[in-house]
Chain A
Amino acid sequence: GQQLNQSPQSMFIQEGEDVSMNCTSSSIFNTWLWYKQDPGEGPVLLIALYKAGELTSNGRLTAQFGITRKDSFLNISASIPSDVGIYFCAGQSVSGNTPLVFGKGTRLSVIA
């Protein structure tokens, strides 16, 4: 099946630093979504991307849909302690009801 390679697996950063994580795939996706998951909770949608090259921001978060449609990155600027959690990328390969394929997640730790 389709696989998403998400990196890095984990990050330890100082509060105030910027963060970047990315996902790559060997196949094309039509939609990229970025989620954040806190311990014991469900994934919360952060940003949705629908078009190759699209750059979308949500507060301090910025995500881009790669031109090749095989990758996406998420940047977090000026990190704060509440940014701690696991960030997942998810891709959908065709329009309609196809399921999401998830990356393995990036665990972010912020040191105050």
Chain B
Amino acid sequence: EPEVTQTPSHQVTQMGQEVILRCVPISNHLYFYWYRQILGQKVEFLVSFYNNEISEKSEIFDDQFSVERPDGSNFTLKIRSTKLEDSAMYFCASRQGGEQYFGPGTRLTVT
């Protein structure tokens, strides 16, 4: 069964460093999303992406964040200068019809 994959599973970085989180959405899906989940809290929307451009973004998705689909399979989230409060699980999702399927997540720890 096709699934969303994400790498790395865990990323530790120092405050101020840039990180790139990678996702491979399900191959025939056209809509892509990034969400984050701070430990013990609910899942929060960051950004949606369709047709090679951002469709919608939340207040969390400020100028430090960017997304890219560099080729036909990868979908990346970049955080330019990480802050301690960026520590969270980051989930990629892709959509077919009304159903969003989530990847296993990348745990980002900023020290």
Contact = CB atoms under 8 A, between A and B. Distances in A.
Interface stretch (A13-21, A33-41, A75-83): A33-41
A108 interface: no
Nearest to B33: A99
A2 to B, nearest CB: 10
Q: Would you call the interface of chain B mostly helix, strand, loop, or mixed? A: strand
A7 to B, nearest CB: 13
A33 B91 contact: no
A111 interface: no
A44 B91 CA distance: 12
Nearest to B99: A48
B99 A33 contact: yes
Contacts of B103: 42
B99 to A, nearest CB: 5
A95 B105 CA distance: 26
Interface string B89-106: 001000100111111110
Nearest to B98: A31
Given A42-B91, A42-B104, A99 B99 contact: no
22 contacts: A31-B98, A40-B105, A40-B107, A41-B104, A41-B105, A42-B102, A42-B104, A45-B99, A48-B98, A88-B43, A90-B43, A97-B48, A97-B56, A97-B95, A98-B48, A99-B35, A99-B58, A100-B35, A101-B45, A103-B42, A104-B41, A105-B42
Interface of B: 4, 6, 31, 33, 35, 41-45, 48, 50, 55-56, 58, 91, 95, 98-105, 107
